[in-house]
Structure formats: C-alpha cells, structure tokens
C-alpha cells in the first residue's frame, strides 16, 4: 500500500510540473499571437507558425498532464485510462513522425526548400505594404543568426533588420537559414535522439504508472468512478 501511495503522489508531482510547463508554453504562444503579426515560413503549413505551434503544444501538455494529475489524486479510473490512451497516441505520433523523417529525408528536404522560397516571397510582398512587419522569418533569423534561405541576397533591396549582425547595420549573417538549421540539426543529432528517447521513456513510465493505479483501483473494489 505504501508503494502505491508513493506511486500516486509521484505521478501527481510529475504531472503538476508538466502542467506548469505546458501553461508557460501556452501563455508564450498567446503572447506571440497578440504582440506580433506572424506568418509561417512554410506556406503549406501556414496555420502552423511559431505562435500557433506553441499554443497547440501548450494545450496538449496541459490537458494530458491535468488528466494524469487529477486521475492519480482522485484515483479516478476514467481519468487514468484517458491519460493512458492519450499518452499512447502521442507516443505513436512521435514515432511515426520520426520514421517518416528518416525514410523520406531527401524528398522532405526538397519540399521544404521549395516551400521556404514561397514563404520568403510572401514575406517580401508583405513587407512592401507593412514596413514594420515582424514574422517567423525574423524570429528564425535572429535565433539562428542566419539570413534568407541561402544568403542575404535573396531578400533583394529590402533586407530585414533581423539579418544584421550585432553592432553593425551594414553586415549580414553570412549563412542562410536552411543550411544553418540543417547544420544545427546534424550537429545536435545525438542530443535530439537522447531527448526523443527520454520523452518516450517518460511517456512509457506515465502509462505504466497510470495502468498500475487503474488495476489497483479495480482490484480494491472501488468500482467505476
């Protein structure tokens, strides 16, 4: 019984921490949506710009962790099994995306290049009408210290301030964002792999904990709650 209580409160604590993290991500997404005018760098995924992506991820994390926290705290079978199913679905989606990226890496790279070019042209057209426009291109260029897809010349005469190197408004980041993102991904491939494995382990442990509590409640004769 003491082990089950320990399991119960551990599950509550971990889910509460994830709930706080999800709420922070959710709030950041809302802040970006309300403070800036965003457009996706990938037109085919226009709805999935940075602000919307953070917003959706925040909702998913908060909802799933809330189910796990409340289900463990109240020892509610319905909430626990819902938490188990959602975690299982999330893990399947993550593994499916990873497999698709590995199998179709070359095709995805070509599609992304074409889509980035369309996104860059859209951003250039939008900046002709709104000179103070801030979109996902500015966020990516500032974060990764890059300019354009391959270099700054792709912006033409209207190079955004996010391309400027610190302290010098006439020099721009030498590398394009696509090559910089690709290099960053390849250089951190081990860290990304470890992160994915850690996330999967946490999800598997969450499923095991929830199912253990679910079975205990069923055996204890508490019935359907």
The reply to whether 225 falls in a domain is no
The reply to whether 206 falls in a domain is yes
| Residue range 40-83, pLDDT digits in tens | 677 666 656 677 788 889 999 999 999 999 998 888 889 999 99
Burial 155-181 (b: 16+ CB within 10 A, else e): beeebbebbbeeeeeeebbebbbbebb
The reply to whether 139 falls in a domain is yes
Where does residue 7 rank: exposed (0-12), middle (13-18), buried (19+ CB within 10 A)?
Answer: middle
Residue % of the chain over a pLDDT of 90: 18
The reply to whether 214 falls in a domain is yes
Contacts of 192 (CB under 8 A, 6+ apart): 185
Structure confidence at residue 120 (pLDDT): 86
User: What is the rounded CA–CA span in Å between residue 126 and residue 134?
Assistant: 10
The reply to whether 193 falls in a domain is yes
Contacts of 187 (CB under 8 A, 6+ apart): none
The reply to whether 224 falls in a domain is no
pTM of the model: 0.73
Structure confidence at residue 168 (pLDDT): 59
The reply to whether 215 falls in a domain is yes
| Residue range 183-198, pLDDT digits in tens | 888 888 788 888 888 8
The reply to whether 88 falls in a domain is yes
What is the DSSP code string of 155-196? GTT---GGGEETTEEEEE-SS-HHHHHHHHHHHTHHHHHHHH
Contacts of 10 (CB under 8 A, 6+ apart): 209
| Residue range 127-152, pLDDT digits in tens | 777 656 667 788 888 888 888 888 88
- Number of domains within the chain: 1
Residue span of the structural domain in which 152 resides: 2-219
User: What is the rounded CA–CA span in Å between residue 196 and residue 165?
Assistant: 33
Residue 137's domain is classified under what CATH number? 1.10.1450.10
């Amino acid at each position: 019984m003491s082990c089950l209580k320990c399991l119960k409160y551990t599950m509550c604590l971990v889910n509460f921490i994830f709930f706080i993290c999800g709420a922070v991500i959710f709030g950041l997404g809302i802040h970006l949506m309300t403070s800036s005018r965003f457009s996706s760098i990938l037109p085919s995924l226009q709805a999935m710009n940075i602000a919307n992506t953070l917003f959706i991820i925040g909702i998913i994390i908060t909802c799933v962790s809330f189910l796990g926290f409340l289900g463990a705290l109240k020892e509610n079978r319905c909430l626990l099994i819902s938490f188990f199913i959602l975690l299982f679905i999330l893990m399947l989606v993550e593994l499916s995306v990873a497999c698709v990226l590995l199998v179709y890496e070359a095709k995805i790279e070509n599609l992304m290049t074409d889509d980035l070019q369309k996104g860059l042209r859209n951003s250039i057209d939008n900046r002709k009408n709104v000179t103070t426009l801030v979109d996902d291109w500015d966020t990516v260029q500032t974060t990764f210290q890059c300019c354009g897809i391959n270099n700054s010349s792709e912006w033409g005469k209207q190079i955004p301030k996010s391309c400027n190197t610190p302290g010098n408004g006439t020099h721009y980041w030498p590398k394009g964002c696509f090559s910089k993102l690709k290099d960053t991904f390849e250089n951190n491939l081990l860290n990304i792999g470890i992160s994915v494995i850690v996330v999967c382990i946490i999800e598997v442990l969450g499923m095991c904990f929830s199912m253990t509590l679910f079975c205990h409640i069923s055996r204890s004769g508490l019935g359907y709650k």
